Chains A and B, each alone.
Chain A
Amino acid sequence: MSVVSVKDLRVWYGTGRGPVRAVDGVTLEIGEGETLGLVGESGCGKSTLGRGILGLLPEGAATEGEVDYDGRNLLGLSQRDLRKLRGPDLGLIFQEPMTRLNPLLRIEDHFAETLKRHEAGIGDAEVRRRSLEVLGAMGIPPTRFRQYPHEFSGGMRQRIMIALALALRPKLLIADEPTTALDVIVEAQILGILADLKANFGTALLLITHNLGIIAESCDRVAVMYAGKIAEEGPARDVFAEPAHPYTRELLRSTISLETTALHSIPGAPPNLVDPPSGCRFHPRCPDAMRVCVELEPVEQRLESGHRVQCWLHGPERLILAQGREPLVREELAVADEA
């Protein structure tokens, strides 16, 4: 049973040089108690997608498509209705915990404000009990309930942010690079907390990150985003063991881990989204590119066990014209274009 279902979502921003198609036809679902990892490089549209789902886009962004939540299309809701859903239904955790807590309010007041806004008539004792419960689950002792944000370390502030998001028990939580600003041991602690979340609360989690290690660690499924599109999506184990899209494969090879014995990188740089490459957007950097990849946009193909991919290597054959499968001949990339 899916908590949220995104269908053919498009988000674009107007700029002086023309519209930037940050999210371009994305379809995905997240089930109850499921963690979907959304991975991609900077500028691929992953944060825009996360915010688009919650209706938190800046002025000037236009959207199209559907975000079905609880029988309603979130894209059609007024800001007022959306605000009511944020908190009790939809939660968001940002990367920078310091900038999201009000420095003038005690931790206690942050919780009171959040809980009272969404649960009319909740008493002070109940606020305290509920807040201490979620804070405790995040390892924040009750003795510090009356302190101010500056009295906490970065890792503790991020835990407070998560606790604040969880106090209302949202059904869908979107975490945008929640550990990027943190140290590796604290990051591991927070990933452990997020893993407990789905076990204890049944929360559906969209975890946005650029770090494939974090995806491997905490996600049931993974969606790989490139230039506004989902290149590939499927069970994390399958995608890591047998990536179907050359981009996923190359990204995995480029990742420097403790097991790395030789360096690898992807030639070229991600395209700008005002004027993306024709056909498959990855074709200028793809070692497997074929002639068809320049001419036609790939069509989503379903593989076994719910794994889907947008790449001509997987067909469909009927759409690939004669010689379409011949390797793409192109000029060598200059080193300077690469990075």
Chain B
Amino acid sequence: MQTRPEPAAETAAAPLVSVRNLKTYYSIRGSFLDRLVGREAGVVKAVDDVSLELRKGEVLGLVGESGSGKTTLGRTLLGLVPATEGSVVFEGSDIAKLSERQLREHRRRMQLVFQDPHASLNPAMTIEQSVADPLRIHGIERDKAGIRRRVAEALEHVGLAPAEQFMEKYPSDLSGGQKQRAVIARAIILNPVLLVADEPVSMLDMSVRAKILELLLDLKRDFDLTYLYITHDLATAKFFCDRIAIMYLGRIVEIGPSNAIYEDPKHPYTQALLRAIPEPDPRRVIPRDLPRGEVPDAARPPLGCSFHPRCPKAFAACGWESRDLKDLLEARWARLGAEQYEAEQALFEDLAALDEPATTATVAVRRGRDAAEVLALLESLRAEDPDEPFWLGVRRLEAAPGRVEIEFHEPRVPRLLAQGDVQVECHLHDPELVSS
């Protein structure tokens, strides 16, 4: 879906990269039998309809947990992963539609810094060879002395000075921070305009992280760079980024200027992320009312809003469905002792039927048991914890012969809507849903 146009003042700076309705899907390789009969095993929507702009000279933080699609989005932006749909316009060309050959020309202008400095340098190459590699690949400099001069310049820019001291060394001779500096030297040697930095400091010790972040800020100033900073760490992003985009299961759920996001996070997911960070202050305690569970399987995302099963503020429209009922029962049985679990479980036929997402769930009652018993159990759950958001999603709960039927409210997929400077994809901020 389309995002709302941004205020005029912000569009004044021309975007360096413009991402529109970008989708990157991975198809899942099924079993041998699936492939034999040509059955689709399904797709993972790693990036699911993302639109954003990267303005020249800014640092945009792409923040999310593992599996949120942040790394895939960064790679699709660089043309390293083919886009399934949508466009990525960089300096007038749509990266998503270029051939490998055409892409190569653009790659000089956009570079990637990886998370693990130990794995991103070839252990058999000297630092000079590694840093010079892009020059060779792009055929920019063939002259040996010229290569050496440019490598020395790049090394000195990243603080590996005097460069002669490092050129002949191998990665194993360097500390973690020095290796990451060499990786950054390799990224800037072609004078790029855009740097995608994927967790560039998360493998480094705390005492050297600041040094690398400072280096990146210095380089940005000296070379007029634009950064996409991909991270799971909201604390470094707060310090480092001008704007923040929060990703969850392939979608941007909130995006806006850093100070607005940190001062007044709008999406319940952003709020939870911020509250879960352990701060180095023993007087502060992480609250216990954090979202339950974990990021769900991206191949089978929840209906409606992907965050609804974990969201403490979810309500009727958020996408309640059969799988949520199973989670509710399972969470209850985890709390109860084995005996009570066995007694209650004996009321149900196989619960696996609930695994198929449906807005009307049919719970089969075990032969010889009465549907009224199951209904009574579910009603007692509701009475015990009426504030549980799940019950807001239930429209009808009825016993029928041999089964109990639960009908949920129609799921709505949230839209990215503007809230001041920030855009947020949450029904709580959708006037159409909240006022009703």
Taking beta carbons and an 8 Å cutoff, which residues of A are in contact with B? 41-42, 128-129, 132-133, 135-136, 139-144, 153-156, 183-189, 191-192, 210-217, 236-237, 240-241, 250-252, 254-260, 263-266, 269-270, 334-336, 338-339
Known: A140-B334, A153-B294, A258-B234. A183 touches B177 (CB 8 A): no
Q: Verify B333–A143 contact, CB threshold 8 A.
A: yes
B188 interfacial contact with A, CB 8 Å:
no
Chain B residues whose C-beta falls within 8 Å of the C-beta of A336 in the assembled complex: 159-162, 165-166, 178
Q: How far is the CB of A12 from chain B (nearest CB, A)?
A: 22
| Interface class of chain A by DSSP | helix
B238 within 8 A of partner (CB): yes
State whether B278 touches A141 (Cβ < 8 A): no
Chain B CB within 10 A, most for which of A135, A216, A240, A241: A216
Interface size class of B (residues with CB under 8 A): 35 or more
- Closest-by-CB residue of A relative to B180 is A339
Which partner residue on chain B sits nearest A238 by CB separation? B282
Residues B235 and A216 in contact, CB atoms below 8 Å apart = no
Question: B279-334: which have CB < 8 Å to A?
Answer: 279-286, 288, 290-292, 294-295, 330-331, 333-334
Binary contact track B40-51/A, C-beta < 8 Å → 1, others 0:
000000000000
4 interchain residue pairs of minimum CB distance: A339-B177, A213-B278, A141-B330, A263-B210
Q: A250 to chain B: which residues have CB within 8 Å?
A: 207
Minimum CB–CB distance from B246 to chain A (whole Å) comes to 12
Interfacial chain A residues near B294, Cβ < 8 Å: 153, 155-156, 183, 185-186
Name B's A-contacting residues (CB within 8 A). Answer: 65-66, 159-162, 165-166, 175-178, 180-181, 204-214, 232-236, 238-239, 262, 272-274, 276-286, 288, 290-292, 294-295, 330-331, 333-338, 341, 345, 351
- Report the Cα distance A141→B238, complex, angstroms: 37
Q: Which residue from A128, A185, A252 sits with its C-beta under 8 Å from B65?
A: A185
- Chain B's nearest CB lies how many Å from the CB of A53? 23
- A269-B330 CB under 8 A given contacts A189-B290, A216-B281: no
Contact B177 A133 (CB under 8 A): no
CB pair A210 B208 closer than 8 Å: no
**A128 & B338 in contact (Cβ 8 Å cutoff):** yes
Q: Contact at B282–A263, with CB atoms within 8 Å? A: no
Of B211, B236, B238, B333, the contact of A142 (CB 8 Å cutoff): B333
Q: Are B159 and A216 in contact (CB under 8 A)?
A: no
Subset of 23 A-B contacts with CB under 8 Å: A41-B207, A128-B338, A133-B337, A136-B337, A140-B334, A142-B338, A143-B333, A183-B65, A184-B273, A185-B272, A185-B294, A187-B278, A210-B206, A217-B279, A236-B282, A254-B206, A256-B206, A257-B281, A258-B277, A263-B214, A335-B161, A339-B175, A339-B211
In-complex Cβ contact of B331 among A141, A270, A338 (8 A): A141
Q: How far, in Å, is A189 (CB) from chain B's closest CB? A: 7
Tell me whether B209 and A269 are in contact (CB under 8 A).
no
Q: Are B236 and A256 in contact (CB under 8 A)?
A: yes
Asked, given contacts A136-B334, A336-B161, whether A240 binds B277 with beta carbons under 8 Å apart, the answer is: no
Task: Give the A-B pair count, Cβ closer than 8 A.
Answer: 178
Q: A269, B278: Cβ atoms under 8 Å?
A: no
Given A142-B333, A263-B239: A339 in contact with B161 (beta carbons within 8 A): no
B65, B284, B334, B336 interface centre (most CB from chain A within 10 Å): B334
Q: Name A185's contact: one of B209, B276, B331 (CB within 8 Å).
A: B276
Q: Are A216 and B232 interface neighbours, CB within 8 A? A: no
Residue from B176, B212, B278, B292 within 8 A of A216 (CB atoms): B278
Contact of B334 among A41, A142, A237 (CB under 8 A): A142
Closest to B341 in A: A142
**Interfacial chain A residues near B166, Cβ < 8 Å:** 336
Bound-state Cα–Cα, A61 to B253, Å: 51
> How many angstroms from the CA of A214 to the CA of B160 in the assembled complex?
33
Q: What are the residues of chain A within 8 A of B295 when measuring CB–CB?
A: 153, 183
Complex: how many Å from CA A189 to CA B276?
A: 9
Residues of B within 8 A of A236 (CB): 282
Least CB distance, A163 to chain B, in whole angstroms: 11
Closest to A152 in B: B294
How far is B351's CA from A134's CA once the two chains are assembled, in angstroms? 23
Give the CA-CA distance A133 to B334 in the complex, in Å. Answer: 8
Interface centre among B206, B208, B213, B336, by most A CB within 10 Å? B206
Chain A residue nearest to B281 in the complex (CB): A216
Flag if B278 contacts A256 (CB, 8 Å): no
Residue of B nearest to A135 (CB): B334
Please state if B210 and A264 are interface contacts (CB–CB under 8 Å). Answer: yes
Expressed in whole angstroms, the minimum distance between the Cβ of B314 and any Cβ of chain A is: 16
